[in-house]
Homo-oligomer: A and B are copies of this chain.
C-alpha cells in the first residue's frame, strides 16, 4: 500500500519578518507521520492574495491533502478565506452555519458579535466546516485543502478535528541509534547499507556532546522487520568503547 501525501502552506508576514517562530509545521509533521501520511512540502508565504492563491493551487495539485495555517481571524490582514475562494473559483459570503456557531459562542461569552468578528463566518460555498473547540470560529475544508487557524493551540485542536477523517497509510516507522563516530567516518558503509535496504530511508545527523563528536542514524520505513534488520547492521558501525 502506498502512503497518502500532504503539503502545508503557512500564511503570515509574522513568520517571514522573524517576529514569530513557527510552531505549527513541526506539530503537523509529527502528526502526519504518525498516521502514515507523507508530508512532501511546506511553503511559507506573506499575507498577500496573489501569493496565497498561487501556492495553494500548486500544492493542491501535487498532493492528496493541503493544510493551511493562519489568516482566518477578524482583522484586515486575515485574507485566507477569500484567497481560497479565488483559488477554487467559489463564491464566498457569511454563511448561516458558521454564523450560528459564532452567535452561540459570543452569546455564551457576553461579547458582541460585531462586523469584524462576523468576518470569521465568511466561508466559501461548498466548503465543510472544521470544529474549533477553543475559540469557536471554524476552519473549513474546500476541495483537498484544510484551512486552519495560525494560533498554535487552535491549530493543534483543528488538526485533531481533521486527522481522524482522513485515510491514513501504513505507519511510517523509524528507529534511531547514536554512533560514536563522525559522519565522515561512517558515510561509506552507510551508503552500502542504504543500497542493501532500498525500501528504507537512512538519515544521518552529526552531533557534538561534551566535546565528543558522534552521529545519530535514523532508519525510516513501513516494515518493522526490515528496520530491525538494518538496525543490527547500523550498530556495527560504532567504535568499541
| A interface residues, Cβ below 8 angstroms from B | 10, 13-22, 25-26, 28-33, 38-47, 51, 73-77, 111-112, 114-117, 119-120, 151, 172, 174, 182-185, 187-188, 190-191, 194, 201-206, 218, 220
Contacts and interface: CB of A to CB of B under 8 A. Distances in A.
Nearest to A26: B21
Contact of A17 (B15, B29, B73): B29
A191 B13 CA distance: 17
Tally of this chain's copies: 2
Contact of A191 (B39, B75, B182): B75
Contacts of A76: 187, 190-191, 194, 202
A44 B45 contact: no
Nearest to A151: B206
Contacts of A30: 18
Q: Which of A73, A76, A114, A182 has the most CB of B within 10 A?
A: A76
* Nearest 9 Cβ contacts at the A-B interface: A116-B187, A18-B30, A18-B29, A117-B184, A42-B44, A76-B191, A21-B26, A74-B184, A74-B187
A61 to B, nearest CB: 13
Contact of A73 (B28, B116, B206): B206
Given A26-B22, A46-B40, A187-B76, A17 B115 contact: no
Given A44-B25, A77-B202, A190-B76, A114 B185 contact: yes
Contacts of A75: 183, 187, 190-191, 204
Nearest to A119: B187
Contacts of A74: 183-184, 187
